[in-house]
Chain A
Amino acid sequence: MMFPYLFSPLKIGTVEVKNRISFQPHLTNFAVNCLPSERQMYYWGERAKGGAGLIITEEMSVHPTDMAYEKLIDVYHPEVIPGFKKITDYVHQYDAKIFAQLNHNGQQCDGAISRLPVWAPSPMPDVLFRETPKEMEPEDIEEVARYFGKSAIHAREGGFDGIELQFGHSSLARQFLSPLTNFRGDEYGGSLENRMRAPLKFISAVRKAVGNDFTLGIRMCADEMIPGGLDLAQVQEICARFEASGLIDFMDLSIATFYNLYLVEGSMHTPLGYTIPLAAGIRERIKLPVFCTGRINDPVMAEKVLAAGQADMIGMCRALICDPFLPKKAFEGRMDDIRYCVADNQGCIGRMGVNKRLGCIQNPAVGEEKQWGEGTLQKAAVKKKVVIVGGGPGGLWAAKMAGRRGHDVTLYDRNEALGGQVLTAMKGAGRDEFGVIIRNEKDQVTKAGAKVKLGDEMTVEKVLADKPDVVIIATGSQPKQHPVPGADGPSVCNVWQVLNNEVELGNNVCLIDYDGHHRASATAEFLANQGKTVHMITSSLFIAAELGPSQDLYLARQRLLQKGVTFTPDIAVMEVGGEAGAKTVKGFNVYSNAWNEWGPYDAIVLAMGQKADDSLYMGLKGKVNELYRIGDSVAPRKVDMAIWEGHRVGREI
């Protein structure tokens, strides 16, 4: 076996987990009417089926004042128990254990949803929710403790194998523990002993409710990562005291707070396994099993962490959202088949942040496991000859799915390598891991029996000469050629030309960001890395405006500023002027309407939108039996939609 540590069992309290892989708690927005849903059952069940030893549910609200999000399960209502039973029975059939995570978010809540005041240790607003809370009175603390106990009983009666209390990055308990959020002068504030009093009350209430024969642990924030907050040394002491209480069986860990949310859910620019040393630091002090998490997307890394004694359990979250069957594939040594998470964050965290259902750019089946989960794909009733044009992510998925269904599939691409626009996008600064999306799929296409023909520019005639039953157009998009007057002259180029090194730029460059995404900011950083002076002009309030939900905004801006990139926001660009090598940008402030001119620049780089490459589709219309187009060739969007549409059409033809 390749991974003896990873696949060795672990005793946690009264339960034995078959391996060291835990599917970590995270929001899904799958609950319906604040009750457990069938969607959750299939979602968690799919990860159990895929081999995870332990599933920890998303946080569940223990009290009416805890409404951080609209679609959380209200575990304090007994009505949750029947739904819980369905979920736990479903997960247990795959020899996995499932823990319920209970939480009160404290100040990190939204009173506009609950129509109740937000409760917190001190009347200090959270940086994200910005709502001044009510300072909890001692009887409020007692009430929350009672609700924790009541909720724990519902979880136990619902068939869960254990409970995890969220004391981590988003929790009332952390707010009591942290000198950053607890300014109380009573017995719940001040000294560490006092600050631990309320969290210990919560733990005691739950332990009393569930008894000693039930597994109970907590998820701690290992380091708030902000001056004045809890750091590793303080959390080591807190964890040691929690352990000494004798009330808990394991210690799960998270990191940071909403001051630095980009560290809670580190994106592609964050190092793999970035919180592992913190877990090791906690494990240095306590004997309880310690869970670690944070961009551990690879069983090889997981094995090393366990073998080095840095943690006892590997928390995988996005890695298993992306590939629920990663544990099974690792166990069987099928490393080539693992679909590695790239922490792009657009499909998971990016959707959560704007109250959409959880997704994944690389796994269209997330949240759709009932209809699209493992084992649902049916062989096609009639074998068809399928031609797919375009080997980007959409085309690859269409070819894979159609091939698996038994169709005779040929995938054409005009380039010498598969990948489409990903091959260019991955050249942006720090975006090289994006290319793993293509690594993940290209072997699957050939394993599915599809033929791949590269370096072949398809025309209407060539497609028709193949006499296909089905044609799928996945030809992507191109940068707009002439988005504003003057933008087609010399010394003006687009981001694709820059990233593909097709143009010579001078040292003084202006990049017009109408994209707000990596396409613009990663190109600006790419240029800044070459020592160029870069100025960015955007019509938005700030550059990289679309990177907020995916948690890329903070670090992207930080890196750009550190590299000397300057910004001008709020500008509608109306014209590019000037001579070659001395280009200017004219535009007006969208709020004041005041016109201005910027420059001169050696070159202007445009990130001003894409145009669908649909000429082949239009030429084939009416000439083949079944014609589909997917991804950017329909309308330029992001990679998640290309994959979604490729997956769907591959399933349905």
Chain B
Amino acid sequence: MPTNNINILVLLRETSDPRPPARTITRGAGISERGLRRLPNPGDLTALEEALQLKDKLGASVTVLAIGPKRLDDLLRLAASSGADRLIRLWDHGLERGDAVADARVLARVLEIMTPTLFLSGNRLPDRGDDPVPALASALRSQACVNSVVAFSTRKDALQVLRKSDRGGRQEVVAPYPCTLLFEEGATLRYPSVEALTGAIAASIENWDLSQLGLPFWEVGATGSHLTSAEFGVPRPDPVRVVTPDATLPAFERILSLLSGGIKAREGKLHQLAANATADSIWQILDEEGLTLKAAP
């Protein structure tokens, strides 16, 4: 594969900020949309930045794909302002409530149509912990896939990739083109210029639906899924560490010790003395604390 004609596809997803507590919906199975704060997936932004750096270095073309409703246009405009060449948003109501396998079929079909040299994306979605769809899509295309990518370099007919291995180890692998790289959150996306931001408002976004993919409806979305959501519950929160209070303390003080987590109130002593006596007293305190220089014996 010639390195001066690299065609890169970046998948850009949105994720929920995992910090505010999620609430489950009261009927059916799912998470309530109310109060959720949506973010561009940090790993995907790292993938986009890596793609743009490759474009800067080798003149590669960068296409950014978002799969979801119209609000994802904002993500694509962000990509456009940063330097992406082509923007595609794919959405169809038939894609709703698909499981990982059904969604992977869709993504695999996009890869088949676009035939990118490199397909880049984030390794995981922070709100759910993982997202197997890009890896499954690559598998459906029989395409090499490397996860937890830390760095990579291009060769004439292959990629040399450094990836995270178990227990903090690093592994170097060589992957043939076409190839999928899944990034850990790392390099931050460049800041676009004001002109680029303004220009992105008018950027052209291609809207694709199922008819462009040529996939039958029974292979995608809820109908194409193996899994059905029956129930959704909040997880058992992690227990907190509790220190056993000193068993010799009186009972009520033990309770207070438990409630304070073992932190004791700061104690102080009030000395009301004349000036000379105050100076002597301060000297004595410093001496008791070992903060004075003692004369050698």
Interface residue ranges, A against B (CB under 8 Å)? 1, 4-5, 8-9, 223, 225-227, 231-233, 256, 260, 263, 270-271, 273-278, 280-281, 283-284, 306-310, 312, 555, 558
CB distance from A114 to the nearest CB of B (A): 30
Contact for A225 among B233, B238, B242, B251, CB less than 8 A: B251
Beyond the given pairs A5-B234, A223-B254, 7 more chain A to chain B contacts, judged by CB atoms under 8 angstroms and listed by A's residue number, are: A263-B252, A271-B255, A277-B242, A280-B242, A284-B240, A307-B21, A308-B240
Contact of A309 with B233 at beta-carbon distance under 8 Å, contacts A1-B23, A558-B252 already known: no
Within 8 A of A (CB), among B65-118: none
In the bound complex, how far is the Cα of B255 from the Cα of A4, in angstroms?
29
Q: Is B229 an interface residue (CB 8 A)?
A: no
Taking a contact as CB atoms under 8 Å apart, the answer to whether A310 and B21 are in contact is no
Taking a contact as CB atoms under 8 Å apart, the answer to whether B237 and A284 are in contact is no
B interface: dominant SS: loop
Q: Which residues of B contact A270 (CB under 8 A)?
A: 255
In the bound complex, how far is the Cα of B252 from the Cα of A226, in angstroms?
10
Q: Which residue of A lies closest to B261 (CB)?
A: A277
Taking a contact as CB atoms under 8 Å apart, the answer to whether A281 and B244 are in contact is yes
Interface residue ranges, B against A (CB under 8 Å)? 21, 23-24, 26, 233-234, 236-242, 244-245, 247-248, 251-252, 254-256, 258-259, 261
Taking a contact as CB atoms under 8 Å apart, the answer to whether A263 and B248 are in contact is no
- Lowest 7 A-B CB distances belong to which pairs? A309-B237, A281-B242, A225-B251, A277-B258, A232-B244, A233-B244, A284-B239
Q: Which residue of A lies closest to B251 (CB)?
A: A225
Q: Which residues of A contact B237 (CB under 8 A)?
A: 306-309
Taking a contact as CB atoms under 8 Å apart, the answer to whether B255 and A310 are in contact is no
Taking a contact as CB atoms under 8 Å apart, the answer to whether A4 and B234 are in contact is yes
Mind listing 16 A-B residue pairs with CB under 8 Å? A4-B234, A8-B24, A227-B247, A231-B247, A263-B252, A270-B255, A271-B255, A277-B259, A277-B261, A284-B242, A307-B21, A307-B237, A308-B237, A309-B236, A309-B237, A309-B239
Taking a contact as CB atoms under 8 Å apart, the answer to whether A226 and B233 are in contact is no
Contact for A280 among B233, B236, B239, B247, CB less than 8 A: B239
In the bound complex, how far is the Cα of B248 from the Cα of A270, in angstroms?
20
CB distance from B10 to the nearest CB of A (A): 36
A interface: dominant SS: loop
Q: Which residues of A contact B239 (CB under 8 A)?
A: 280, 283-284, 309-310
In the bound complex, how far is the Cα of B259 from the Cα of A273, in angstroms?
9
Taking a contact as CB atoms under 8 Å apart, the answer to whether B252 and A309 are in contact is no
Contact for B240 among A274, A275, A309, CB less than 8 A: A309
In the bound complex, how far is the Cα of B1 from the Cα of A219, in angstroms?
70
In the bound complex, how far is the Cα of B239 from the Cα of A1, in angstroms?
24
Taking a contact as CB atoms under 8 Å apart, the answer to whether A256 and B251 are in contact is yes
Taking a contact as CB atoms under 8 Å apart, the answer to whether B26 and A1 are in contact is yes
In the bound complex, how far is the Cα of B238 from the Cα of A308, in angstroms?
7
CB distance from A149 to the nearest CB of B (A): 32
In the bound complex, how far is the Cα of B256 from the Cα of A263, in angstroms?
12
Q: Which residue of B lies closest to A277 (CB)?
A: B258
Q: Which residues of A contact B21 (CB under 8 A)?
A: 4, 307
Taking a contact as CB atoms under 8 Å apart, the answer to whether B241 and A284 are in contact is yes
**Which of B23, B24, B245, B258 has the most C-beta atoms of chain A within 10 angstroms of its own C-beta?**
B258
Contact of A260 with B258 at beta-carbon distance under 8 Å, contacts A309-B238, A310-B240 already known: no
CB distance from A312 to the nearest CB of B (A): 7
CB distance from A499 to the nearest CB of B (A): 25
Q: Which residues of B contact A225 (CB under 8 A)?
A: 251, 254-255
In the bound complex, how far is the Cα of B247 from the Cα of A270, in angstroms?
19
Q: Which residues of B contact A232 (CB under 8 A)?
A: 242, 244-245
CB distance from B246 to the nearest CB of A (A): 9
CB distance from B223 to the nearest CB of A (A): 30
Q: Which residues of A contact B23 (CB under 8 A)?
A: 1, 4
Taking a contact as CB atoms under 8 Å apart, the answer to whether A274 and B251 are in contact is no
Q: Which residues of A contact B261 (CB under 8 A)?
A: 277
**Which of B24, B244, B256 has the most C-beta atoms of chain A within 10 angstroms of its own C-beta?**
B244
In the bound complex, how far is the Cα of B243 from the Cα of A231, in angstroms?
11
Contact for B251 among A4, A233, A260, A306, CB less than 8 A: A260
Taking a contact as CB atoms under 8 Å apart, the answer to whether A227 and B248 are in contact is yes
In the bound complex, how far is the Cα of B256 from the Cα of A555, in angstroms?
13
Taking a contact as CB atoms under 8 Å apart, the answer to whether B242 and A278 are in contact is yes
Q: Which residue of B lies closest to A259 (CB)?
A: B251
In the bound complex, how far is the Cα of B239 from the Cα of A306, in angstroms?
10
